[in-house]
C-alpha cells in the first residue's frame, strides 16, 4: 500500500465535552467523496494531546469502521514515552489501521541517538508501516536527515511527514533515502515546492475544509500538470494562511463550524478564537466561497 496524495489530518469533533461520533463519521464520508486519498486521525489537528487513551482508541476504531478500506487510515500513535507509543501503535494495528504516524518525542528533547532508538524500538515492536513525523516547532527537537536515513533502513519505517519548514532538509531526506521512502509535506503552504523536490503528497489541515481542491492540486502535480497545480496552490494560499492565524486546530474547527459540519469546540488549554481573528477567518472563507 502506498501513502501518497492528499491525506487529511482530520479533526476530532466534540459536542458537550465528548467526541461527536456522528459528526466524525460524516466528515470522513465527505472527505472520501471529495477525493481525499487517506484519513489521519489522532494527529495534532485531531487534538491527540487532550484525548484520553480510551478516546484515542475509539477515534481510531471508528475511523477504520467508517472508512471500510476505501482509502488508507494512518493513525497518530506517537508519544514522548516510547512504551506508550508502542502501546498505541499496537492498538492501531489491532484496530485495522493501515499505518501509524509517529511524532518525535516532545518535551524530553532527546539527542539524535535517542530519537533513533525511540523510533527503532517502535518499529521492532509493532509489525506495521510507520511514518515518522518531524515538527520541531512543536516538539523542540529536529529529526535530522542523517537520522531519518538511519531509520529508513528499518523495513517498516516507510516515510516521513516533514514539518520543519526547510526545503533544504526535504531535499537532503529525499537524496539520502531514495524512492522507497515516502516524503509527505507537513506544511500545507509548502506542499507544492516540496513536491518539486521529491515529496509525493501532504498530510493536510486545509483538506478539512477544502478537500477537493487539495486533492486536485496534488493530483495535478502527479499528472505533470504544473500549471494547474500552481493555480490551485495560489487559490488555496489564503486558506493556508488563515487556518494558522491561531494555534491549529482552533481556526479549522471554527471554519467547519461556520460551514455547519461540526462544532468549534476545543479542549483546554486551547480556547475559542479571538473575535478579530474570527472575523479574518470568516472573510477569507467568504472570499473562497466556502460560506455565503
Instruction: Give all strands of the β-sheet with 157-162 in edge-to-edge order.
Output: 38-40, 5-9, 201-204, 182-185, 157-162, 130-134, 99-103, 74-76
Strand pairing report for 5-9 and 201-204: parallel
Counting the structural domains of the chain, the total is: 1
- Quick one: angle between helices 250-258 and 275-288, nearest 10? 60
Identify which has the larger pLDDT, 70 or 2: 70
Whole-number CA gyration radius for the chain:
18
pLDDT of residue 12: 98
Query: Residue 51: which domain range?
Result: 5-223
* Tens of pLDDT, residues 90-99: 999 999 999 9
Contact 273, 251 (CB under 8 A): yes
Is residue 114 one of the residues assigned to a domain?
A: yes
Class of residue 181 by CB neighbours under 10 A (exposed 0-12, middle 13-18, buried 19+): buried
Contact 17, 45 (CB under 8 A): no
* Tens of pLDDT, residues 199-220: 999 999 999 999 999 999 999 9
* Average confidence (pLDDT) over 93-109: 97
pLDDT of residue 187: 97
Q: Is the whole-model pTM more than 0.75? A: yes
* Tens of pLDDT, residues 261-282: 999 999 999 999 999 999 999 9
Is residue 244 one of the residues assigned to a domain?
A: no
Exactly one of 57, 107, 116, 133 is catalytic; name it.
Answer: 133
- CATH number assigned to the domain comprising residue 15: 3.20.20.70
* 45: three-class secondary structure by DSSP: coil
Is residue 159 one of the residues assigned to a domain?
A: yes
* 53: three-class secondary structure by DSSP: helix
CA proximity to 104, closest of 88, 82, 83, 89: 82
* Average confidence (pLDDT) over 24-36: 98
Is residue 76 one of the residues assigned to a domain?
A: yes
| Among the ranges given (179-183, 191-195, 234-238), the one the predictor scored with the smallest mean pLDDT | 179-183
Share of residues in the chain with pLDDT > 70 (%):
100
Q: How far apart are CA 64 and CA 91, in angstroms?
A: 12
Handedness of CA 269, 274, 280, 283 (dihedral sign): positive
For 217, residues 6+ apart whose C-beta sits below 8 A from its C-beta are: 6, 191, 192, 229, 232, 233, 236
Residue 1 clears pLDDT 90, i.e. is over it: no
288 assigned to active site: no
Q: How far apart are CA 128 and CA 157, in angstroms?
A: 8
Q: Count the neighbouring beta carbons within 10 Å of the beta carbon of residue 230.
A: 14
Residue 191 clears pLDDT 90, i.e. is over it: yes
Residue 2 clears pLDDT 90, i.e. is over it: no
* Tens of pLDDT, residues 118-160: 999 999 999 999 999 999 999 999 999 999 999 999 999 999 9
Q: How far apart are CA 123 and CA 121, in angstroms?
A: 5
133 assigned to active site: yes
Q: How far apart are CA 27 and CA 208, in angstroms?
A: 8
* Tens of pLDDT, residues 39-81: 999 999 999 999 999 999 999 999 999 999 999 999 999 999 9
CA proximity to 44, closest of 139, 120, 119: 139
* Tens of pLDDT, residues 11-27: 999 999 999 999 999 99
Is residue 28 one of the residues assigned to a domain?
A: yes
Is residue 190 one of the residues assigned to a domain?
A: yes
Is residue 288 one of the residues assigned to a domain?
A: no
Is residue 201 one of the residues assigned to a domain?
A: yes
Exactly one of 57, 109, 116, 161 is catalytic; name it.
Answer: 161
Contact 59, 24 (CB under 8 A): yes
Amino acid at each position: 500500500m502506498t501513502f501518497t496524495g492528499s491525506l487529511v489530518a482530520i479533526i476530532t469533533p466534540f459536542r458537550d465535552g465528548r467526541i461527536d461520533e456522528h459528526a466524525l463519521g460524516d466528515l470522513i464520508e465527505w472527505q472520501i467523496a471529495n477525493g481525499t486519498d487517506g484519513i489521519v486521525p489522532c494527529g495534532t489537528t485531531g487534538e491527540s494531546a487532550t484525548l484520553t487513551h480510551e478516546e484515542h482508541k475509539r477515534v481510531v476504531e471508528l475511523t477504520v469502521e467508517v472508512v471500510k478500506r476505501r482509502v488508507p487510515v494512518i493513525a497518530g500513535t506517537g508519544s514522548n514515552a516510547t512504551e506508550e507509543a508502542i502501546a498505541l501503535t499496537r492498538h492501531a494495528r489491532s484496530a485495522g489501521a493501515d499505518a501509524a504516524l509517529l511524532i518525535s518525542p516532545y518535551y524530553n528533547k532527546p539527542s539524535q541517538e535517542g530519537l533513533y532508538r525511540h523510533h527503532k524500538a517502535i518499529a521492532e515492536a509493532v509489525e506495521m508501516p510507520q511514518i515518522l513525523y518531524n515538527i520541531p516547532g512543536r516538539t523542540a527537537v529536529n529529526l535530522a536527515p542523517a537520522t531519518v536515513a538511519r531509520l529508513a533502513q528499518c523495513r517498516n519505517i516507510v516515510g516521513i511527514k516533514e514539518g520543519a519548514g526547510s526545503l533544504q532538509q526535504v531535499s537532503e531526506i529525499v537524496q539520502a533515502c531514495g524512492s522507497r521512502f515516502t516524503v509527505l509535506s507537513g506544511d500545507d503552504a509548502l506542499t507544492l515546492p516540496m513536491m518539486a523536490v521529491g515529496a509525493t503528497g501532504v498530510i493536510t489541515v486545509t483538506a478539512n475544509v477544502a478537500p477537493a481542491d487539495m486533492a486536485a492540486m496534488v493530483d495535478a502535480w502527479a499528472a505533470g500538470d504544473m500549471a494547474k497545480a500552481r493555480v490551485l496552490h495560489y487559490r488555496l494560499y489564503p486558506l493556508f494562511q488563515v487556518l494558522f492565524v491561531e494555534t491549529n486546530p482552533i481556526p479549522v474547527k471554527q471554519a467547519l463550524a461556520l460551514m455547519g459540519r461540526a462544532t468549534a469546540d476545543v479542549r483546554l488549554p486551547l480556547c475559542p478564537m479571538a473575535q478579530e481573528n474570527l472575523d479574518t477567518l470568516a472573510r477569507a472563507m467568504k472570499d473562497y466561497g466556502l460560506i455565503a
